[in-house]
């Protein structure tokens, strides 16, 4: 332990009690738990951790804890738990083994402890090896100026000429419909009227005719009346088509709508 | 294939070079080149020659290394570019399309936006006040900004009326998007009217705006 | 419908899709290599082969291009590295000293954090209880939080044992940070495994083959 070395170099004399107390406290606070302390003691044996003398190790640990207790240094409970267990292990190792039962033998318990220490040591070394690898941001570097915008969610707006037309007619009709609601029924061609008129005028003919040719006289001049007539005639035509009585045709958007009586066997 | 010239010109234009001392005779230029490329790769901003030199071992011939790198990467997926006297690697411009993460979020234009656009398209040049009058509601700045951002509309001439209000007109990008050769290709108002969908215009406006016209400034 | 062309794009490099696949069969590997290079160069985080392929024109042979690039940049100032099955350009480790300015301030990790990370890396998936068993001491929440914050570990599947404890595993960012291609490449992993040091019980016991131990002390 470096604390220990520093102490011996800096104060090369017989430690008086306070110094020893301080030394013990310092080293205890430097350990991360009893296993860490054990590992440190084991390392001082300078042999392969799986070849260490567990008995000697247990004795050193017990002596260490005993000294600390004598000096009334606060020792965390888990150090004491370990001490109790090591005392038990020591007795198992010293006393003759009882007949082989389910209990692990003293040797096996000692092996397990040595194994645990070896594992802790291995992980400590592995951690060190990991930290000395080429590390990103310390030894190797990524592109400092990435160009791919992390979240380049391109917002793309879509609209078609159709959308444009719909919007425009909506704006215009919104405006135009306003008076319609106010003007009352007098200006409206009812659906029933329009339908009756259509059926009457289509007669038995099978030629295509323009729908707006069916508007009643006088309904094709004043804008409101004209629109009402167009709308009612169109709705009536749709109704008749639904019932299979007529066919409707429109060559393209906003082109004139044509209508004819459906041929009997079409 | 045509390779666009790197922005900012050839490395020969960089300050100094010939007179750089040869303190670093032991470090081959090839090695200096590697160092400069590593430094530029990791840098978060373009670096000036002096800044690069600062990071390199003393005596490095940065301009020579830059010239070598510019030649080395002239035909690669990224280039060494100079801009404003600073150097940076940038992906080759003609490969820029690879970088676009196709997280395209398709959106429909809001009702307000499409109506505003339609009014501008059909009535251009048109003032904001006129748009508002037609829609019957105020036009938000956000709506106009969006259409301007999309580059579908732009600001046209000022109207020579009191207050000289700005007008809006559509752009060629608008025509591109809607696959129109000209705004005259928009379905005509006459067609709309004859279909009974539009009210004939009031007489005084009728002369002013018979059909949409392309603004000739475009 | 006219689609805006990519800036400066040569005709055979048109992006996407629907109508392009055939054309790509003829794209020379050299050109594919340039594209992969551009895509990787533009990114700072490693990209999976599938992610690269996604950005490339259909039918590109990404693995072949990656192999070519890895060879091409083996001795340059930055290299093509594989980490967790993903690919990224990284500066050459031996040139790290040039990038001191770019270096992120290293948060000094406590011994507890380093050991905990090592235990998770070498034993994953591993429960908190197992970490504590290995270190012989409780693992503080702060330690795990720090490792989680660094994005070096994450919570894995629950262990199907009583209490269904959560397990911890390392992340791809961990691999990237420590220049590892996979956890199989952890330093000394094979040796540790063959020495039985990744098992909780000594090898003799684990194999149910009790061996006389030679404890020569009395």
Taking the Cβ of residue A143 and every Cβ of chain C, the question of whether any pair is shorter than 8 Å is answered with yes
> Tens of pLDDT along B123-135?
889 999 999 888 8
Query: ipTM of the assembly?
Result: 0.61
Distances in Å between the Cα of A117 and the Cα atoms of A39, A43, A66, A220, C119 are 6, 10, 22, 103, 14
pLDDT of residue C208: 53
Residue C135: which H helix or E strand, with range?
helix C128-135
What pLDDT score was predicted for residue B14? 41
Q: What is the pLDDT of residue A20?
A: 60
Residue with tokens 């169109």: A234
* Higher per-residue pLDDT: C182 or B59: C182
At residue A9, the pLDDT reads 35
Contact B192 A163 (CB under 8 A): no
Residues 137-156 of C with CB under 8 A from A: 137
**What per-residue confidence (pLDDT) applies to B102?**
57
Yes or no: say if A121 and C19 are a contact pair by the CB < 8 Å rule: no
Determine how β-strand A209-210 pairs with β-strand A246-250. Answer: unpaired
Closest Cβ opposite residue A158 in set B108, B115, B118: B108
The reported pLDDT for the residue numbered B144 is 93
Least confident of A49-58, B22-31, B69-78, C175-184: B22-31
Decide if A118 and C197 are in contact by the 8 Å CB cutoff.
yes
Q: What is this structure's pTM?
A: 0.58
pLDDT at C1: 38
Say yes or no for a CB contact (<8 Å) between C90 and A34: no
Contact residues, chain C, for B69 at CB < 8 Å: none
pLDDT of A18 reads 54
**Chain C residue with Cα closest to B90:** C42
Q: Which two tokens stand for residue B184?
A: 């005259």
- Residue in A closest to B90 by C-alpha: A147
Q: Which of B166-180, C32-46, C194-208 has the lowest mean pLDDT?
A: C194-208
**With 50 as the cut, is the pLDDT of residue C62 above it?**
yes
Calculate mean pLDDT across residues A26-47: 82
The answer on pLDDT for A165 being more than 80 is: yes
Task: Tell whether C183 is within 8 A of chain A (Cβ).
Answer: no
Residues A121-143 pLDDT 10s: 999 999 999 999 999 988 889 99
Q: What integer is the mean pLDDT of B92-115? A: 80
pLDDT at C178: 94
Q: Which of A198-212, A249-263, B10-24, C44-58 shows the lowest mean pLDDT across its residues?
A: B10-24
Portion of chain A with pLDDT greater than 90, in percent? 17
Taken in order C207, C210, C214, C215, is the CA torsion positive or negative? Answer: positive
Give the 3-state secondary structure of residue B156: strand
Q: What distance, in Å, lies between the first and last C-alpha atoms of chain A?
A: 105
Task: Give CA–CA dist C21/C16, Å, rounded.
Answer: 8
pLDDT tens-digit readout, C77-136: 999 999 988 999 999 999 999 987 777 766 788 999 999 999 999 999 999 999 999 999
Q: Which of A176-180, B3-7, B197-201 is the most confident on average?
A: B197-201
Q: How far apart are CA C86 and CA C95, in angstroms?
A: 22
| A58-87 mean pLDDT | 87
Distance CA(A111)–CA(A92), nearest Å, equals 13
In whole angstroms, give the CA distance from residue A224 to residue C5.
Answer: 48
> pLDDT over 90 for what percent of chain B?
39
Q: Is the pLDDT higher at C167 or at A65? A: C167
pLDDT (average), residues C23-31 = 73
Percentage of chain C lying above the pLDDT 90 cut: 63
For residues A129 and A204, the model is more confident at: A129
Nearest chain B residue to A250, by CA? B195
Helices C111-123 and C128-135: crossing angle in degrees, nearest 10, is 120
- How many CB atoms neighbour CB B112 within 10 A? 18
Question: Is residue A257 very low, low, confident or very high in pLDDT (cuts 50, 70, 90)?
Answer: confident
**C201 — contact with chain B (CB < 8 Å)?**
no
Model pLDDT for residues C111-126, shown as the tens digit of each residue: 999 999 999 999 999 9
Higher per-residue pLDDT: A227 or B140: B140
pLDDT tens profile C136-184? 999 999 999 999 999 999 999 999 999 999 999 999 999 999 999 999 9
Average pLDDT of chain B is 78
Q: What is the dihedral of CA C127, C133, C136, C140, to 10 degrees?
A: 20
- State residue C101 phi and psi, 5-degree precision: -65, -30
Cis peptide before B125 (omega within 30 of 0): yes
């Amino acid at each position: 332990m470096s604390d220990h070395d520093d102490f011996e170099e800096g104060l090369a004399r017989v430690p008086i009690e306070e110094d020893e107390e301080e030394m013990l406290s310092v080293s205890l606070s430097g350990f991360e738990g009893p296993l860490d302390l054990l590992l440190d003691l084991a390392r001082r044996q300078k042999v392969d951790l799986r070849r260490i003398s567990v008995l000697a190790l247990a004795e050193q640990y017990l002596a260490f804890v005993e000294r600390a207790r004598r000096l009334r240094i606060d020792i965390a409970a888990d150090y004491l738990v370990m001490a109790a267990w090591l005392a038990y292990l020591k007795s198992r190792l010293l006393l003759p083994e009882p007949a082989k039962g389910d209990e692990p033998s003293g040797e096996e318990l000692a092996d397990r402890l040595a194994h645990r220490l070896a594992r802790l040591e291995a992980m400590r070394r592995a951690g060190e090896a990991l930290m000395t690898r080429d590390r990103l941001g310390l030894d190797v570097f990524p592109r400092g100026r990435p160009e791919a915008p992390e979240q380049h969610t391109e917002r793309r707006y879509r609209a078609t000429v159709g959308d444009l037309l719909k919007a425009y007619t909506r704006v215009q009709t919104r405006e135009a419909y306003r008076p319609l609601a106010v003007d009352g029924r007098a200006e409206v061609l009812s659906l029933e009227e329009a339908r009756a008129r259509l059926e009457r005028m289509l007669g038995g003919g099978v030629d295509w005719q323009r729908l707006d040719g069916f508007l009643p006289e006088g309904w094709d001049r004043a804008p409101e009346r004209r629109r009402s007539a167009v709308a009612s005639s169109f709705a009536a035509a749709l109704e008749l088509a639904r019932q299979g009585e007529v066919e409707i045709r429109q060559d393209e958007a906003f082109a004139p709508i044509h209508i004819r009586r459906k041929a009997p066997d079409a | 294939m045509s390779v666009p010239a790197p922005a900012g010109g050839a490395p020969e234009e960089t300050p100094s070079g010939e007179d750089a001392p040869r303190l670093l005779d032991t470090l081959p230029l090839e090695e200096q080149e590697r160092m400069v490329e590593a430094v530029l790769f990791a840098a978060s901003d373009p670096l000036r020659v002096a800044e690069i030199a600062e990071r390199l071992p003393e005596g490095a011939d940065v301009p020579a290394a830059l010239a070598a790198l510019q030649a080395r990467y002239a035909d690669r997926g990224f280039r060494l570019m100079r801009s404003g006297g600073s150097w940076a690697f940038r992906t080759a411009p003609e490969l820029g399309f690879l970088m676009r993460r196709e997280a395209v979020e398709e959106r429909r234009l809001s009702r307000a936006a499409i109506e505003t656009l339609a009014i501008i398209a059909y009535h251009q040049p048109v003032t904001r006040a006129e748009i508002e009058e037609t829609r019957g509601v105020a036009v938000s700045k956000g709506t106009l900004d969006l259409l301007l951002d999309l580059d579908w509309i732009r600001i046209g001439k000022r109207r020579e009326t009191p207050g000289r209000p700005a007008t809006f007109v559509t752009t060629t990008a608008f025509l591109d998007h809607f696959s129109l050769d000209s705004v005259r290709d928009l379905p005509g108002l006459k067609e709309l009217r004859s279909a009974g969908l539009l009210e004939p215009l009031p007489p005084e406006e009728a002369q002013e705006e018979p059909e949409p016209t392309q603004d000739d400034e475009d």
